[in-house]
Amino acid sequence: MKFGRKALSVVLLFIALVLANYIAANLPFRLDATANHIYTLSPGTKAILSKIEDPVTLDFYFTRDARGLPTMYKDYADRVEAMLHLYARAANGRIILNVINPEPDTNAEEAATTAGLREQVMPNGDKFILGLVATQADQQKVIKTFDPQRESFLEYDLSQLIFDVQQVDKKKMGLISSLPLKAKFNYMAMQSGQMPQNQYVLNAWEKHFDVESIEPTATSLPKDLDVLAIVAPRNLSPQLQYAIDQFVLSGRPVFIAVDPSTQLFKQQGGSSMYGAPDASSDLPGLFKAYGIAYSPTMVAGDEDDASKVQSSDGTIATYPTWLSLTAANLNSTFIGTAQLNSLLFVEPGAVALAPGSTLKMTSLVRTSAHSGMVPVMSLQFTQPDDLMRQLKIEGRKTIAALFTGPLKTAFPDGMPGAAPAKGKAAKPEPAKGQLTHSKGNATILVVADADWLMDDFSVRQLNFLGTQMAEPLNDNLYFAENCLDYLGGPKDLLSIRGKGSSARPFTVVMNMQAAAERKYRQKLDAVEARLSQIQQKLTELLGKRGQTQTLIATPQMQKEVDAFQKQEGDARIERRHIRLELREGIKSLEYTLLFINLLASPLLVIAFGIWFYRHRRA
């Protein structure tokens, strides 16, 4: 009888555990104890999900049974699936999630490849799929493959996909540019069979936006613009600057590329009061009012990131104002720069916050610590080597930055050129409906260079069997595309930031290993230094012997060699002891962690059982 009761108790306990897990899995809330809250949806994501009108179907494809699949991809697939379940719960029925295993030669695999998902090939030749298809009505968008390197931006990518699949029409982008990004009609070129081509950056923008060009002499902006791009602004009409100001204050995002020294403008000539070509672009009135510091007369130079450039005489020179930047110069937490590896900026300026600015600045692209500013005028007459010597090191300079925050209008007296009301003073007043303060936070992305957008500095053009093709020289085009994609998204999407990785390294183990390595390196360096001294003495002695082929070491030298050999032997023994201590320390820590992982849960259950038993007896 007692045995039957015990067996029944065990069965009931098992059923209780299963029910507890089931109930916990279906609770409408979760406790996220991760360091970066990677399993907590951002307010921006929740806002996007709340605005879904028609149901969105998410088909998550993962070849889970692929032979030889790396553990990294299995773990990341679990992470993606967990996030998708969070989205489905938060959407309250407006998201339908299907988890599909596209095994080889099945209808599921055919559906995945037809939708545009990318098959990845493993070293053993097998293929697997890890991607997502979002469908709403007849609209379909995909994430071709999930890259574990983008884990920190997983929420952003998922939210952008859900937002994009609901968009029927492209967003509208206004483009004000003094650079010829858009090809102009050229009858002579057409006669010779060479059709004028847009700059590739414009083609990239047109994939995502309906781009409308706006002349610098215009006096207004189209009313239905979602985002505005201003490239190398020169001689903009006061009325157009006023329209830009009102656009910024309305809360819509603006991309601005200014430049203290644009190569095309230098080639075209044009004189200034100093007799040198005026190749700068600026928005002085707006920048001053908004608290953005930028000088059109100063160029950033960098000793560490200077580019090797072939000069007109064929020699290779180091140009400190032509900056070849790498991932170390880029903001790893910003969606637009996190996955980039190389950018080229040609004689860029620098931006910063002016004293008293109400904006917040997030640096996206910065020079190295060995940087400074040089006057634009010095570029025309100074050789690269002399320019490098003249560079005064001032620390890091920001080439590109995102400015956000509240703003006041740059035109408190109203639109320039507006006629005063009858009977009023000549001084204009703000017009009815004019914005004097921003609606919420303004968003302005400023890059202090414009050359990087041109084909000459971003792509290598090729002719393949009569077809014009382009090969990227760097990530300039991707940066331009990412910036406008980021700005063109909804405000809810702009608020989503990277959350880090789910992988938590064993920092204690790593620190132990690093400390031992440093200690080992110090010992080794000391041995190598002593060895170098002995070799130098031997070389001097050999020189004194002249052409003699036989080297007879003096008793003093032999004693030094013997001493060194003993020291070397002692260092090797000490090195073995250090490595042994390192291995023992790591093994001890591994065993401790294994012990905790295995026994923590049973001990907690036992403790609860003892407490429950005593509580029941009491």
Residue 211's identity, in one-letter code, is V
Tokens of 532: 């170098």
Beta bridge partners of 256: 230, 446
pLDDT at 549: 46
Return the ∠ at Cα 281 (arms to 275 and 285), rounded to 5°: 115
Strands (E), 183-253: 209-214, 227-231
Helices (DSSP H) in 58-180: which residue ranges? 71-90, 107-115, 154-164
Smallest CA-to-CA distance from 152 within 496, 450, 419, 472 is with: 496
* SS3 label, residue 535: helix
Return the ∠ at Cα 99 (arms to 71 and 37), rounded to 5°: 65
Q: Report the Cα 525 to chain-centroid distance in Å.
A: 38
pLDDT at 105: 87
Tell me how crowded residue 448 is: count the other CB atoms within 10 A of its CB.
27
Phi and psi at residue 471, to the nearest 5°? -115, 125
Residue 352's identity, in one-letter code, is A
Give the DSSP H/E element, type plus range, for residue 617.
helix 555-617
Q: What is the DSSP letter of 498?
A: -
The structure tokens 């109930």 sit at 23
CB 61 within 8 A of CB 132: yes
Give the DSSP H/E element, type plus range, for residue 471.
strand 467-472
CB 477 within 8 A of CB 458: yes
Burial of 526-552, coded b for 16+ CB within 10 Å and e otherwise, reads ebeebeeeeeeeeeeeeeeeeeeeeee
Average confidence (pLDDT) per 10 residues, the chain, 618 residues? 66 76 60 58 89 94 89 91 93 94 92 92 88 93 90 87 89 95 67 71 92 95 95 95 96 96 85 65 96 96 88 76 94 88 95 96 96 90 80 94 96 78 53 86 96 93 63 91 89 63 53 55 60 60 48 60 62 65 64 73 78 73
Residues 503, 505, 506, 507, CA torsion sign: negative
The structure tokens 């994501």 sit at 45
Q: Give Cβ neighbours of residue 13 (< 8 Å, ≥ 6 apart).
A: none
Angle in degrees, 0-180, between the axes of helices 507-545 and 555-617, rounded to the nearest 10 = 180
Contacts of 590-593 with C-beta under 8 Å, sequence gap 24+, read: 590/509, 593/506
This prediction has a pTM of 0.69
Tokens of 574: 């000490």
Helices (DSSP H) in 147-186: which residue ranges? 154-164
Ramachandran quadrant class, 308 (left: phi over 0; alpha: psi -120 to 50; beta: rest):
beta
CB 250 within 8 A of CB 478: no
Q: Give Cβ neighbours of residue 185 (< 8 Å, ≥ 6 apart).
A: 196
pLDDT at 548: 45
Q: How many residues does the chain have?
A: 618
* SS3 label, residue 601: helix
Q: What is the DSSP letter of 36?
A: T
What's the CATH fold of domain 24-164? Answer: Glutaredoxin (3.40.30)
CB 246 within 8 A of CB 432: no
Torsion of CA 300, 303, 304, 307, to 10 degrees: 70
The structure tokens 């390595």 sit at 517
Q: Give Cβ neighbours of residue 168 (< 8 Å, ≥ 6 apart).
A: 139
What's the CATH fold of domain 171-416+432-494? Answer: Rossmann fold (3.40.50)
Q: What is the DSSP letter of 446?
A: E
Start-to-end Cα distance in the chain: 25
Angle in degrees, 0-180, between the axes of helices 43-50 and 71-90, rounded to the nearest 10 = 60
Tell me how crowded residue 582 is: count the other CB atoms within 10 A of its CB.
18
Domain ranges of the chain: 24-164, 171-416+432-494, 507-617
Residue 137's identity, in one-letter code, is A
Strand 254-257 and strand 442-447: the pairing is parallel
Tokens of 234: 């020169």
pLDDT at 263: 92
Can you tell me the distance from the alpha carbon of 487 to that of 255, in angstroms, rounded to the nearest whole number? 8
CB 350 within 8 A of CB 448: yes
Alpha carbons within 13 A on the beta-carbon side of 9: 7
Smallest CA-to-CA distance from 55 within 209, 162, 200 is with: 162
Tell me how crowded residue 12 is: count the other CB atoms within 10 A of its CB.
10
Q: How far is CA 170 from CA 181, 306, 483, in A?
A: 20, 39, 16
